[in-house]
């Protein structure tokens, strides 16, 4: 059996939150397949949105890998602005340059002179740009006017915290604490002594200007930035009415529209990003072979038909469903809700998502028959096998049971099917969200599989209620029979 592509090279991302919206406490590491389960209003979507917001913010100021917040920005600060007015010895400058040019070794924060480290702390704390970017992304993705709206969810007025860690092969790349108060966001930079500023696979060519104690970066290259995509729970309705919504927004964006509609309601950044990708979707992009194969499998084995993109007079794409049995085209509004739910996933796999990207899906089982929910688990496993990091929220016991089967399949050596849908226990994280208690991981058991306790409680309660009602019914039936004699 082969491992998930580049498993050893992938970043290990850990996100810890306290007192964040409905989440009392959580410490979650994102694995090839990460699953959030639990009752409604316990923070599953909230945490998924936080992951998306952090990724957007970090990629907006860095050209490096996802969740590498200040890598390139930090280099320019440290190696350019940081020397202004600093009496750094020339020998130390050359020593730093030699380390930067040495691609065999990573360059850590602790490799910098003490003066530079101290200067970095003051720059980050004073630099308005970093905090403003983070504040804007959190407000955008959560559709907030102020951070007090986040704090109001759990009735607490204390400080909210987010701790973000990124590492690879026990080497730390990122360890920062984000503190959110009612009025602002602050970044704590006290835990970065072992943080890697420039990884081994970066290429740096730097030249120094000793006369003004500054360093000029001639060229700086980094690994290709990875993308993150979010399929929200509202995708079905958006897919059926995206052209109407787009036309309405365009009309309201004119001066006449603003006069008629002075208070246009806003939407979250998650919904806005999804709508933008759907409205601007182009079907000419040639997907990777493995992504195309997974999309085709989803169409054939779950949808039993094809999703086709048609041009329209409005300029917005028109999505059609073609069942295998008829070959007749249907608008998504004329198709089943299952088609509208899964159509965007097919489109994303055909034209957007690539190995190395992250895909967040809210409730992939929505509007699916239990058998199709099990099929969806296989699709998610194939994505993980292809190198896509998958994060889902779910309420489906059928989905969890099949994920457990796929893990068990992965543990059976030399007997695994060639479909590439098996999983290993360390590749899957099942996280249980409950109200007012810390988020806990649900372990996999070879016999029980993946079984949340509250699911068992519901099943047991329904069974006991059924037995009780049957006993009452039989007792009443016997009494009526006796009275009729």
Tens place of pLDDT for every residue, the chain, 485 residues? 445 544 445 678 899 998 888 899 999 999 999 999 999 999 999 999 999 998 887 665 443 343 334 444 455 445 554 445 455 555 665 666 666 655 566 667 777 777 767 766 666 565 555 677 778 888 888 888 777 666 655 555 566 888 888 777 777 766 778 887 777 777 776 666 566 666 665 555 544 443 444 444 444 444 445 789 999 998 888 887 766 666 555 555 444 444 555 555 677 889 888 988 888 887 666 677 889 999 999 999 999 999 998 877 666 788 899 998 887 899 888 888 899 999 999 999 998 999 989 999 999 999 999 999 999 999 999 999 999 999 999 999 999 999 999 999 998 865 555 567 899 999 999 999 999 899 999 999 888 888 888 888 888 888 899 999 999 988 888 888 877 76
Residue 197, domain member (yes or no): yes
Residue 392, domain member (yes or no): yes
Residue 241, domain member (yes or no): no
Per-residue confidence (pLDDT) for residue 218, from 0 to 100: 42
Q: Quick one: 266 and 194 in the same domain?
A: no
Residue 485, domain member (yes or no): no
Residue 456, domain member (yes or no): no
Could you say which of 294, 319, 353 is where a domain stops? 353
Per-residue confidence (pLDDT) for residue 243, from 0 to 100: 62
Q: Match 């519901």 to its residue by tokens.
A: 458
Could you say which of 353, 372, 401 is where a domain stops? 353
Q: E strands, 286-356, where?
A: 305-310, 318-323, 330-331
Per-residue confidence (pLDDT) for residue 217, from 0 to 100: 41
Residue 251, domain member (yes or no): no
pLDDT digits (tens, 9 = 90+) for 123-153: 656 555 567 777 888 888 888 877 766 665 5
Per-residue confidence (pLDDT) for residue 164, from 0 to 100: 81
Q: Quick one: 144 and 284 in the same domain?
A: no
Could you say which of 331, 353, 375 is where a domain stops? 353
Q: Quick one: 37 and 143 in the same domain?
A: yes
Contact 349, 298 (CB under 8 A): yes
Q: Quick one: 195 and 272 in the same domain?
A: no
Q: E strands, 100-242, where?
A: 107-108, 160-168, 171-180, 185-188, 196-198, 203-209, 214-221, 228-231
Tokens at 471, concatenated:
């006993």
Per-residue confidence (pLDDT) for residue 127, from 0 to 100: 55
114-126 and 71-79 helices, crossing angle to 10° = 120
C-alpha–C-alpha distance, residues 127 and 121, integer Å: 10
> Closest Cα to residue 202, out of 216, 222, 218, 219?
222
Q: Quick one: 209 and 190 in the same domain?
A: yes
CATH number of the domain residue 209 falls in: 3.40.50
Quote the pTM value.
0.81
Per-residue confidence (pLDDT) for residue 458, from 0 to 100: 86
C-beta atoms surrounding 451 within 10 Å = 18
Per-residue confidence (pLDDT) for residue 16, from 0 to 100: 93
For the chain, what is the domain count?
2
Residue 294, Cβ density class (10 Å: 0-12 exposed, 13-18 middle, ≥19 buried):
buried
Our measurement of the distance from residue 451's CA atom to the centroid of its chain's CA atoms, rounded to an integer in Å, reads: 23
Q: Which phi and psi (to 5°) does residue 172 adopt?
A: -80, 130
Q: Quick one: 307 and 180 in the same domain?
A: no
Per-residue confidence (pLDDT) for residue 418, from 0 to 100: 55
Q: Quick one: 260 and 191 in the same domain?
A: no
Per-residue confidence (pLDDT) for residue 395, from 0 to 100: 94
Q: E strands, 324-447, where?
A: 330-331, 358-362, 389-393, 428-432, 440-441
Domain range enclosing 4: 1-227+356-451
Per-residue confidence (pLDDT) for residue 459, from 0 to 100: 83
Residue 461, domain member (yes or no): no
Q: Quick one: 131 and 267 in the same domain?
A: no
Per-residue confidence (pLDDT) for residue 452, from 0 to 100: 84
Q: Quick one: 98 and 57 in the same domain?
A: yes
Q: Quick one: 38 and 152 in the same domain?
A: yes
Q: E strands, 141-195, where?
A: 160-168, 171-180, 185-188
Residue 127, domain member (yes or no): yes
What's the Cα-to-Cα distance from 226 to each of 123, 271, 353, 357, rounded to whole Å? 27, 20, 10, 5
Q: Quick one: 118 and 134 in the same domain?
A: yes
Contact partners, residue 301, CB within 8 Å, separation at least 6: 375
Which DSSP letter does residue 388 get? -
> Closest Cα to residue 397, out of 463, 336, 435, 448?
448
């Amino acid at each position: 059996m082969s491992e998930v592509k580049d498993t050893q090279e992938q970043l290990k991302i850990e996100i810890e939150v306290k007192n964040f919206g409905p989440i009392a406490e959580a410490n979650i590491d994102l694995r090839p397949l990460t699953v959030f389960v639990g009752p409604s209003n316990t923070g599953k979507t909230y945490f998924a949105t936080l992951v998306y917001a952090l990724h957007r913010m970090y990629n907006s100021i860095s050209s490096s890998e996802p969740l590498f917040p200040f890598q390139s920005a930090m280099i320019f600060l440290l190696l350019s602005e940081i020397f202004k007015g600093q009496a750094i010895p020339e020998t130390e400058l050359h020593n730093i340059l030699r380390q930067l040019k040495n691609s065999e070794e990573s360059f850590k924060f602790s490799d910098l002179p003490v003066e530079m480290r101290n200067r970095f702390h003051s720059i980050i704390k004073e630099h308005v740009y970093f905090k403003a970017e983070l504040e804007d992304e959190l407000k955008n993705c959560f559709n907030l006017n102020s951070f007090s709206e986040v704090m109001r969810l759990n009735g607490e007025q204390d400080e909210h915290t987010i701790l973000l860690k990124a590492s690879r092969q026990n080497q730390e790349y990122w360890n920062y604490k984000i503190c959110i108060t009612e009025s602002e966001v602050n970044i704590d930079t006290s835990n970065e002594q072992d943080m890697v500023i420039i990884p081994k696979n970066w290429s740096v060519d730097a030249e120094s200007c000793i006369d003004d104690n500054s360093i000029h970066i001639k060229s700086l290259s980094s690994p290709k930035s990875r993308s993150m995509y979010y399929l929200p729970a509202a995708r079905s309705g958006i897919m059926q009415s995206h052209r109407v919504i787009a036309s309405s927004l365009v009309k309201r964006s004119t001066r006449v529209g603003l006069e008629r509609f002075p208070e246009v309601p806003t939407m979250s950044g998650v919904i806005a990003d999804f709508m933008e990708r759907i409205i601007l979707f182009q079907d000419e992009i040639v997907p990777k072979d493995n992504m195309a194969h997974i999309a085709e499998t989803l169409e054939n084995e779950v949808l039993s038909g094809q999703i086709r993109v048609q041009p329209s007079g409005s300029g917005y794409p028109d999505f059609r469903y073609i069942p295998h049995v008829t070959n007749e085209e249907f608008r998504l509004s004329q198709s089943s809700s299952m088609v509208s739910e899964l159509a965007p996933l097919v489109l994303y796999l055909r034209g957007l998502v690539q190995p190395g990207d992250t895909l967040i899906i809210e409730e992939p089982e929505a509007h699916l028959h239990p058998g199709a929910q099990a099929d969806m688990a296989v699709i998610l496993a194939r994505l993980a096998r292809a190198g896509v990091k998958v994060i889902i929220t779910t309420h489906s016991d059928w989905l969890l049971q099949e994920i457990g089967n796929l893990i068990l399949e992965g543990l059976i050596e030399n007997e695994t099917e060639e479909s590439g849908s098996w999983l290993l226990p360390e590749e899957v994280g099942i996280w249980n969200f409950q109200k007012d208690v810390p988020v806990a991981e649900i372990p996999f058991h070879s016999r029980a599989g993946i079984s949340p306790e509250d699911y068992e409680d519901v099943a047991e309660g329904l069974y006991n209620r059924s037995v009780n009602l049957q006993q009452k019914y039989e007792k009443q039936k016997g009494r009526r029979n006796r009275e009729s004699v």
